Amino acid sequence: MKKSFKLIFIITICFLANYYVSEAQQAGWRGPGRSGVYNETGLLKSWPAEGPSLLWESTEVGVGYSSVTVVDDIIYITGSRDGTDYLSALTSDGRKKWEVAYGKIGTKNYQESRCTPTYSNGKLYVISGRGDLACISKEGKLLWTVNHYQKYDATEQRFGIAESPLVVDNKVIATPAGNKAFMAAFNADNGSVIWETPVAETGAMYASPLLIEFNGVKTIVTYSQKYILGINASDGKVIWKFDYEAVNDEHRGRNHINTPLYRDGAIVAGNGYGQTGAKIKLNAGGNPSLVWKNPLLNPHVGGMILLGNYVYSSTHDNNNMGRWTCTDWNTGETKWITQWKNKGSIIAADGMIYIYEEKDGNVALIRPDPAKLDVVSSFRITKGEGPHWAHMVIDKGRLFVRHGNYLAVFSIKAGK
């Protein structure tokens, strides 16, 4: 009996270990937990005047606004050319290992590749501009594809598909928001349908969904045009919804772009186009309640980060201009709002903030401070074309910065 119990215990531990390893192997959009905060240490706390040391650069990744995904020192990146979206794999020194076509680019505004690849258990998942959800092996073989926009009678968004798929328990999640289903889960191995969420609203948004666990339930948090939704990851049923549009004092544009932040049973949503940022508290057995709202928490396409009790982001004053801002997570108070070049994207690592200004390509290293914007160092990306909309990535002491068809990798490891 004791031996049997011991064997069961060992098997259980091994199963749990494998489960958590497989969960940990997911990589992609904005790093761990899609938070924009990277688990790196030993990074430089200031840069030389000319910027950190350039390791290598490439102009062979295609055109796009997507970020890189780095796994086992292989760099995966999407890019478009000649009307087709491609996924490429690069070696640690920038040489191309392979590339795979996975679908057609979008037909509307901003046709460049938008989807950051999601890696899970030896496979990569991407969505083309026209809705081709594809699974590609880490060796570069197209394993399966399904056009979820056609399947669910969805309409291509005005600014193109920008969602990076989410992988949960061997299910690939995508959001067509069509006339036949709002969200769908596909078998990660073969692309067969596992569940479908009934239509909440038609017309998809641009944000990549967030996976949280609340009240013991794995929950997918995303936007419809009107609501913030919590969807059960196991069966696709809507658990709760919050009327996000009602937070605004008047009707605003419904371009929801930024993945929400989550901590301790609360969600902060912030999107541009004149919309009001909001913190909502999740409630077991009911819909969320509003904690606070702040119209100055309105990032355009650059995301938000949470460090300590402060949300750092940029504003969308208009399409050509924005400022940088710090918001109190607990109260919603704006601690500061400051002009520095222009709005842009934001990430963090090793206790420092990294911002990438979208108009002229200025990159800055920021010391977090709820009293002021404390710029320590900066430099400028001068190569590539188009807006600097791609979010930066940090991996193993390297800073990955994309501008259109140009990818640059810098060493930001201390002592290097």
- The pLDDT tens digits of the residues spanning 5-41 come to 333 333 333 333 333 333 445 799 999 999 999 999 9
Quick: pLDDT tens for 146-156: 999 999 999 88
Identify which has the larger pLDDT, 185 or 110: 185
Domain ranges (residues) in the chain? 302-388+390-416
pTM of the full predicted structure?
0.92
Q: Is 295 helix (H, G, I), strand (E, B) or coil?
A: coil
Q: How far apart are CA 64 and CA 60, in angstroms?
A: 11
What are the pLDDT digits (tens) for 292-313? 999 999 999 999 999 999 999 9
The full 3-state SS of 338-389, as one line of letters, equals ECCCCCEEEEEECCEEEEEECCCCEEEEEECCCCCCEEEEEEECCCCCCCCC
Nearest C-alpha neighbor of 303 from the set 338, 350, 333, 348: 348
pLDDT at 187 exceeding the cut of 90: yes
Q: What is the mean pLDDT of the segment spanning 235-261?
A: 89
CATH number for the domain whose boundaries are 302-388+390-416: 2.40.128.630
pLDDT above 50: residue 43: yes
How does pLDDT run across 366-379, given as a tens digit for each residue? Answer: 999 999 999 999 99
User: How distant, in Å, are the alpha carbons of 218, 302, 390 from that of 111?
Assistant: 33, 18, 14
